[in-house]
Structure 1
């Protein structure tokens, strides 16, 4: 079992290229703030993720994260041709989550940082079943829509380096996602009742995910360019009617944006 999970992780880049699944779970960007001191604040801003973290004491912090995925900006809404090689172009939705955690600088220069956060989120995603791509022009998207809501619980330890010019972190996030409220359009999987049943049963059991993320920030003091590569690996082998529930989860994500950092150490770093 463990070997299978390791092989799955190694194969993810290829899966991202070849998969044409229906994504009803897109993992949000991992918030890895690497805070060092009381009253420090950090925000990460990108097109689909918005995150903030604030240190309420010298070792305790809170975070709030938001996500909204909509690929209409990149694709013609009237276009019902096949998906991009990397993503399901019809996926739309997101989540809101919050967490609390512990952080500590672990070297004398306070550049190496360890932190761990735990939290809860709630969200929803919807997409279109693949047969919509070959449907006649003017076909209602609602007839092919797949939709689900979910609760999410997560724990994420991080180890990283934080400097006024560059930051880097590795964060192995563990998430448990419980889907509920699945709905399916009247024409979705119209000729495949087993596949319909498969989708409607996604919420039967909570799905654990291993979501390791690699984060890099480069800039100077208050403002840095932010980039993150993350994988999302379901840690079970559930199948319903011969179909793997993993078909509905986006396996890899790459995000870029801007990171803002405000704190006493950031202010003082300009004097050195």
Structure 2
């Protein structure tokens, strides 16, 4: 069987291939992977990448098995670029979590939720005066998602710079339906598109101090519909910090 590190490297390579080869008007966010264990826990996360994608996550364990999640993200590639891309997205959901395994080191979570967002995608061409607009696309969209998380805490801590650190790793699989509510090209309304995405992600966390962890996330998305604009192609490749507090 492939080890987790091998799978993560493969996914990272596929992510880069999707990023280079395709472009979509929709960019997925880094989802919440809170690894909730008991009532009263609060999870806060922040993630970023080189594409200008910044994501924030929040989760709260209402009981020992029921949790709430909220995600928000913003993307801004900057105006001085051939592809000027801006997007914001906000979503929330409710779900179930439980510990599994002999030592209770594994956590399984499932969440369902709804989100809304807006994208502006301007195709530009470099000129002696700067950048000329070639095509302007804008959409308002909504999404419905189901997300499955599986995560585990390494039994033995790792030794880094003479200090023993806890290591966690896991997988998140999102099934999302994204639909355009409004769509315009060069200011003219166009018939909207919808797509169904499968978004597998892998993440690894390393403890920095009690409750605070460094997280690396990578993954990609697969679109089931063949669309011109709303399609797969943008990967999730982020580095971030997560903080969990409020345990019993």
Task: Please give the TM-score of this superposition, normalised by the length of structure 2.
Answer: 0.79
* Larger-Rg structure: 1
* Structure 1 position 216, deviation (Å): 1.0
Q: Is the 8 A contact 2:108 2:148 kept in 1?
A: yes
Task: Give the count of matched residue pairs.
Answer: 221
Where does 1:43-192 land on structure 2 (aligned, <5 Å)? 43-47=44-48, 48-72=54-78, 77=79, 79-80=80-81, 82=82, 88=83, 90-129=84-123, 132-134=124-126, 137=129, 141=133, 144-162=135-153, 165-185=166-186
1:257 equivalent in structure 2: 240
1:222 equivalent in structure 2: 211
- Higher-helix-fraction structure: 1
Give the superposed CA RMSD.
Answer: 2.6
Q: Is the 8 A contact 2:139 2:181 kept in 1?
A: yes
How many Å separate the matches in 2 of 1:217 and 1:71? 27
1:5 equivalent in structure 2: none
The SS at the match of 1:38 is: coil
Q: Is the 8 A contact 2:14 2:220 kept in 1?
A: no
How many Å separate the matches in 2 of 1:212 and 1:139? 36
How many Å separate the matches in 2 of 1:15 and 1:119? 26
Q: Structure 1's 245 and 183: CA in aligned 2 closer, same or farther, altered over 3 A?
A: closer
* Structure 1 position 148, deviation (Å): 0.6
1:41 aligns with 2:42: yes
How many Å separate the matches in 2 of 1:161 and 1:139? 48
